[in-house]
Amino acid sequence: GWKAAINTTIINFNNEKMQITWATREIFPNENVSFFYTFDEGKHKVWKPCPTYLLDPDYNSGCLFKTEGPTLAISIRNSNGSEELFYKKLKSDFYIKPNRPENVTFFWKEDTVTVSCNKPEKAARCLRLEIQYKSKFDEEWQSRISKCCSVGEQGFDPRKCYSFRVRLRRLVPYCNVVNYSSDWGAETFWMNGTLLDSCDDDITSQPNTVIVLSCSLAVLLLMLILVILLCKWQRVQMSVLPAIPDPKYLFADLFNDHNGNLQEWLDKNDHVMLQTKPEYEEPESITEAESQQEDGKNNEKQGPLEKILTFSRAAENNDSKAAEIACLIPASNTMASFAACHILRNDDVYVML
C-alpha cells in the first residue's frame, strides 16, 4: 500500500518529453533508487532505464525521457534494479504542459486590443489563450481567457502604458487531470497601439514634459514682469525727472504756417494767450524807457516814451511756474529806443525793426 502512496510529479512537455520526479529525501532518505519506464501495452513490456536522471543533490530525484505514446508505465526500483519500490500506469496525454504561444500579435482599434497567436497542430480544442495586462497604476494583473488562439479586451486608456503577457492553458478535466499552463511569453509594453521598450519610458517622459512646460511658463512670466517694470520705470522717471521741452518746437508754427510773419501769428494766437491768463497776478518789476531825440540838428525833444512791462507770475504749485507779460503799447508814430535798437510804431500798431 505504501508503494502506491509515493508522491510523484508528472509533466508531459507539449507531448514531446516526459519528466517524472519524486520526493527522494522523504521517501528514500538512505537509498539512491533507479527508474524504468515503458510505453508498451500488453504482457510483453520492454522496460527502459532512465536516460537522464535529475539529482537532488547526489541522489536520483527524477527522470527525463522522450514521449513515445499515450500510455505510460513507470517503475522505481532499488539501486541495482532487483526490487521494485513503486509502480504506476497512466495516460501521458492527461499531463500535457503546452509550449509558449508562438508569433503573438497585437491589434489595436481605439480602446480595444485583440491578441492572437499561431494555432498548434495538435489538440487545439484543449487549449485556451490567456492574456494578462496591467497599467503602471495597477498593482495586480488583469486576466482574460478565450478559445485558442485569439482573445480581445476593451476599455484600454490610450493615455496609459500597459504591460502584456500571454500563455496557453490546458483544459481541466476534459483534457488534463492537472491544471497545466505554458510558461508566460515575453512581456511587452504598449501605449495607444505603439510598442515601447518599457513603461519606464512613459513615466520618465512625463517629468520631462512638466519641466519643459514649467521653464516656458517661467520665461513668459519673467518677460511679463520685465515689461511691467519697464513701464513703471518710465513713469517714475517722468515724474522725478520730467523731460525739458526743446525751445525750437514752441514757435514751429510761426515759421511753418506763417512764414515768419509775427503779426499774423500774434493775431491768430491772441485768443490762446487770453485763455491762459492766470486768475491773479503779482507785479514783479517795472521797466521805464525814455525816448531820446534822434535828430540832433532840430534840438527837438520829444516826450519820454514810457513803456511799462508788467510781468505776472502764476501761483506756484508742485509741478511748474507760469508767467505772462503785459505790455503798454506806446502812442502812434513814436520812436522807442532800447540800447542800440530803434523801434518805430505806426498807426496800424505794427512794430518795425
Please tell me the distance from the alpha carbon of residue 95 to that of residue 72, in angstroms, as a whole number.
11
Q: Which parts of the chain register pLDDT below 50?
A: 1-2, 203-205, 275-330, 338-339, 349-350, 353
pLDDT (0 to 100) of residue 212: 83
pLDDT (0 to 100) of residue 207: 55
The grid coordinates listed for 79 are 539501486
Please tell me the distance from the alpha carbon of residue 84 to that of residue 3, in angstroms, as a whole number.
9
pLDDT (0 to 100) of residue 105: 92
Please tell me the distance from the alpha carbon of residue 165 to that of residue 143, in angstroms, as a whole number.
10
Domains 8-97 and 105-196 share a fold: yes
DSSP letter, residue 16: T
pLDDT (0 to 100) of residue 288: 42
Fold designation for 105-196: Immunoglobulin-like (2.60.40)
- pLDDT tens across 44-101, in order? 889 999 999 998 878 888 999 999 999 999 999 988 888 888 889 999 999 999 999 9
| Domain ranges for the chain | 8-97, 105-196
pLDDT (0 to 100) of residue 242: 65
pTM of the model: 0.54
pLDDT (0 to 100) of residue 18: 95
Please tell me the distance from the alpha carbon of residue 190 to that of residue 199, in angstroms, as a whole number.
8
Comparing C-alpha atoms, which of 265, 275, 277, 261 is closest to residue 310?
A: 277
Q: Domain spanning 8-97: which superfamily?
A: Immunoglobulins (2.60.40.10)
